[in-house]
Structure 1
Amino acid sequence: MKLLRFLWLCLLPIVSNCENATDMKTIRDVKRAYEAKLLALPDVVSVGIGTDGEGSPVIVVGLTCDNMVTRNQVPKKLEGYPVVVRATGVPEAQ
């Protein structure tokens, strides 16, 4: 009985962390949820997923030109995921 109680107390932090992990949305879910709102901003032509300089996932918002008004309207994070704004220019069909 003491052994079972000891094991339960040891596993409790792991179990509680698992509950939080299931509540987290994936970066794809977050991108999908905010994509239309971001694309409605002036000069925004793309919303994608990329990586930062350290290889961590980020949401990438592409602008036709470096519009500071729009840049300031884009949140720095969306549901915990960093957002990077890049001036990509006008996309061309190939």
Structure 2
Amino acid sequence: MNQVNTVKQDYEAQLMRLPNVTGVGIGERRGKTVIKVFVTQKVPESNLKPHEVVPKSIEGCETDVEEIGTVTAQI
């Protein structure tokens, strides 16, 4: 888990610059700790330029892209 925290912190700003990305966190997929990348809408990889694609893993830590829609403040 510590490695995942470190990698998330090191790459969060870079991931946040990708299209549709609204947040980065840590979660679980199939019993494994992963870096969660939250997007407004999932887009087929074929519609993105290579530098816009969320990597499948970063420094050995798997990523998981989750569509959450548009985030708005609840007042």
TM range (shorter): 0.7 to 0.9
**Correspondence 1:59-78 to 2 at 5 A:** 59-68=35-44, 69=48, 73-78=53-58
> Are positions 1:86 and 2:63 aligned together?
no
The structure with the largest helix share of the pair is 1
* Structure 2: gaps spanning 5 or more residues: none
Whether 2:11 is the aligned partner of 1:34: answer yes
Which structure has the bigger radius of gyration? 1
Cα displacement (A) at 1:92: 2.4
Q: Aligned pair 1:57/2:33, yes or no?
A: yes
Q: Could you tell me how far apart the structure 2 residues matched to 1:80 and 1:56 are?
A: 12
Residue correspondences, number: 68
| Stretches of structure 1 lacking an aligned partner (at least 5 in a row) | 1-24
Shift of 1:86: 1.1
What TM-score do the two structures reach when normalised by structure 1?
0.65
Write the letter of the residue equivalent to 2:69.
G
Bigger RCO (CA 8 Å, 6+ sep)? 2
Q: Would you tell me which structure has more strand in proportion to its own residues?
A: 2
* Percent identity of equivalent pairs: 40
CA distance in 1, matches of 2:22, 2:58: 18
